[in-house]
Amino acid sequence: MATSDSKAAPEPQPFETLRWRGELPGELILLDQTLLPGEETYLVCRTVSDVFGAIRRLSVRGAPAIGIAAAFGVIVGIQEATRSEEDLTRAFQETVDRLAESRPTAVNLFWALDRMKARFAELSGKPPVEKVQRLLDEARQIHEEDRQQCEAIGRHGAELLSDGHRVLTHCNAGALATGGLGTALAVVYSAVRDGKKVSVYANETRPLLQGARLTAWELQRSHVPVTVICDGMVGTVMRQGRIDAVVVGADRITARGDVANKIGTYTVSVLAKTHGVPFYVAAPESTFDFATLHGDDVTIEERAAEEITQGFGPRTTPDDIDTYNPAFDITPAENITAIITDRGVIRGPTEEKVRVHFGR
């Protein structure tokens, strides 16, 4: 390990969620998030099974990060199959089919695989070795675009934070979920990079504790002061005047600006509104679903009872107890101060403002 220069400002995000190592043949390196926060171990993926297993086991998670991992996963699967055009086409098809089964509901996974398929079709007639090289370029481009989107979100969002601000966030919408600085946490990292002293309160985010496990880990590693609280404490920390702004990510945003995000987000939005704390949602354009107007038309997945009854080892409820475990909730646009996108900030979102903002 290199010795750090104690005079230099700490570099935000001194870890890599995922990257391609080498040229061709190369390998996909992934931070194994199943071992966080206890261990920082990197997986080396040299076969499609390695990549498939890593996505399925949640070693890599977060919609953008999964998409990027799948794009590089395609290269892992085809880079040795360059003896003939038939050989490469068969390997490409097998790889794409396999990876598509890793997380059946992950939108970015299909989006990334479709983009690799489209590029493969465009390259028809090129020699196999050249095709693989161009597809690696495409995967790198997908990664680079995600990084730039994160940067842009961070840049626009940082203007909303002042020196000394204390930001509350929920779940993990950070570098661990993307190929760059994250979405919600990009706003924090970017403000810190601008020299503002910003600290974070991280909701632990039951049932899966992504806040306690992942957000706390990446902020600590990035030298951003972070305090973990339980989700029910949000009202009290706001009442005590400890929070200057809320910044969260989004799984989907409707045309009128309603936000589907991790369960617990809506509760935070109500508390923010009551206490006059600005509530910001950070997400790239690709998170917007212009075909859906109202949040209540988004289908909410219900997850297994065990996440509540034995979330972290021992059972903490009686046997055969009823639970209710929605994975996401809907925060209506009326509770949102502004949506921070890679293409600028939409204040007081409405259908008209969202459509005008994106020209959709």
Site residues (vs a second copy, CB under 8 A):
37-38, 170, 201, 203-207, 209, 212-213, 216-217, 220, 225-237, 239, 263-264, 266-271, 273-274, 308-309, 311-326, 329-330
- Write down the least CB distance from residue 254 to a second copy, Å: 16
Q: How far apart are CA 102 and CA 93, in angstroms?
A: 15
Task: At 352, list the tokens.
Answer: 């008209």
CB 80 within 8 A of CB 49: no
CB of 300 to a second copy, least distance (A): 9
Residue 230: CB minimum distance to a second copy, A: 4
Report the nearest approach of a second copy to the CB of residue 264 (Å): 3
**Nearer Cβ to a second copy (26/37):** 37
Query: Which is nearer to a second copy, 87 or 231 (by Cβ)?
Result: 231
Nearer to a second copy, 152 or 173 (CB): 173
Reading the block at residue 263, the tokens are: 């369960």
| Comparison of 205 and 341: residue with beta carbon closer to a second copy | 205
| C-beta of residue 120 within 8 angstroms of C-beta of residue 94 | no
CA dist 72 to 60, 270, 360, Å? 13, 40, 31
Q: Closer to a second copy by CB, 84 or 236: give it.
A: 236
Cβ atoms 211, 228 nearer than 8 A = yes
Q: Which of 200, 140, 172, 127 is nearest to 282 (CA)?
A: 172
- CA–CA distance, 9 with 339 (Å, rounded to integer): 30
- Is residue 82 within 8 A of residue 68, CB to CB? The reply is no
List 50, 146, 251, 329, catalytic entry = 251
**Least separation in angstroms between CB 44 and a second copy:** 24
| 251 belongs to the catalytic site | yes
- Residues in CB range of 8: below 8 A, 6 or more apart: none
Q: Active-site residues: which are they?
A: 251
